[in-house]
Structures are given as structure tokens and as C-alpha cells.
Amino acid sequence: MKRFRVGKSVAIGGSIALAVGLLVSLGMLLSGEGRTLRLGIQLWAVPLVLAAIVVVGVLLNDWYRKQLAKVEMTERLAAEDESRKRHRSFVARLDHELKNPITALHMALPDVENPALAQAIRSQLDRLASLISELRKISDIEDYQLAIEAVELPEIIQEVLETLRVSNREVFLGFPKARPLPPVAADRDLLFLALYNVVNNAVKYSIPGATIEFRAFVDAKNVVLE
């Protein structure tokens, strides 16, 4: 059995309305008012009846507002769930559509005569495949179990910068040598993706010839990246 709960302000308002109606009716009764209306209701009871009607109206209005809020919440949750489903479907389709071209390019690498170029292409294809996998992780982040491990930040930072240098020759990406950094507990793939997105955005909004430096240092018990 569901309990009907009312807000504090509604309860106070209803109590005041009933108290006023009761006091007025009691005053009329004590003054000797005993006339009876055509409906068979004595005149002294009218204020009390009106107060009860007001209380019922207030309660119904409060109930209606709560029901409306529940409907809006249900619709919003349904819309968010549908949006997540569409996003997951898009990521799954993207993953499927890109697998074949990546595989085909890997198979064509032996035909590349320049070993350095072949290695660079192979590295970027591997990174692209990894990025797709990481994108899938993010799309399923609610169900994804983080693979926490001890991660060496300098290695991740260098990997991010090297990945971006291949496609961004007009911006200088630097990582000044700093004091040794302690390993951090993190999901390596998601950490790479987070740092990649930050630096990639910086590259996008930098003018040709600009320098972007990635710094890392220890502050108390934390490792700070900037």
C-alpha cells in the first residue's frame, strides 16, 4: 500500500486552513448561531466545510504536481537511455566499419619500401585501433571495470606526443625532462585517451609555429600535469 506524503508547506497550509475554519465555526456556535441553510447544513458549519474544501484542493494540487514531476522524470530518463543506446550503436558500427580498412592497410605495409615510413604507418594504425577500442570503453563506461595498474606517466606522455607529432608538423610539442615521477594507479588506456584529447585540443587551437609544452611534477602526494 502506497503512502501519500505531502510537503511541509502543504501540511502547514492545510492545518492553518482547518484551524481557521474550526475557530470561526466554534465562534459562531458559541454565539448561538443555529440557522440552517436550504441544503440542511447549519450556518455555523459552513466555515469548517469551506476550510475542508480548501485543504482537499491544496492536497490534490500537491499530488498533481508530484505526479507531473514523476512523469517528466520518467520521460527524461527514457530519453537519456535512448540517447545512450544510439551512441553505443554508433560506436559499434564505427568499430565494425573501421576494422576492415585497418586490416587491409596492415596487409599492405610489406609493399612500402621505406622502412621508417612503414613503421610510422604501422604505429598509427595500431594507435587508431587502440583509440577505437578506448572509445568503445567510454561508451560502455557504466558497465566498464577499470583496469587499474601502476602507470609510468612519462611513457604515456611521450606516447601521446609522438602520436600527435606525426599528423601535426606545424606545432612543436615538447616535454621538458623533469625529476623522476612516481607511478600512478590508473587505467592506462583511459589515461592515454584523456591526455590525448587535452593535447589534441591544444594543438587544434594553436597557430602554426606555436610551442606546446607538457609538464609533470610532484606536489605533496599528488602528481600534477599541466
pLDDT tens digits, residue range 17-28?
666 656 665 666
pTM passes above 0.85: no
Q: How confident is the model at residue 143 (pLDDT cuts 50, 70, 90)?
A: low
Per DSSP, what are the bridge partners of residue 185?
150
Helix (H, G, I), strand (E, B) or coil at 61: helix
Domains in the chain: ranges and CATH = 8-84 (no CATH), 148-226 (3.30.565.10)
Alpha-carbon distance 48 to 18, whole Å? 7
Please name the residue ranges forming H helices in the chain. Answer: 8-30, 46-108, 115-139, 153-167, 188-204
Q: How confident is the model at residue 4 (pLDDT cuts 50, 70, 90)?
A: very low
pLDDT tens digits, residue range 60-107?
777 788 788 888 888 887 887 777 777 677 766 776 677 777 777 777
What average pLDDT does the chain have?
73
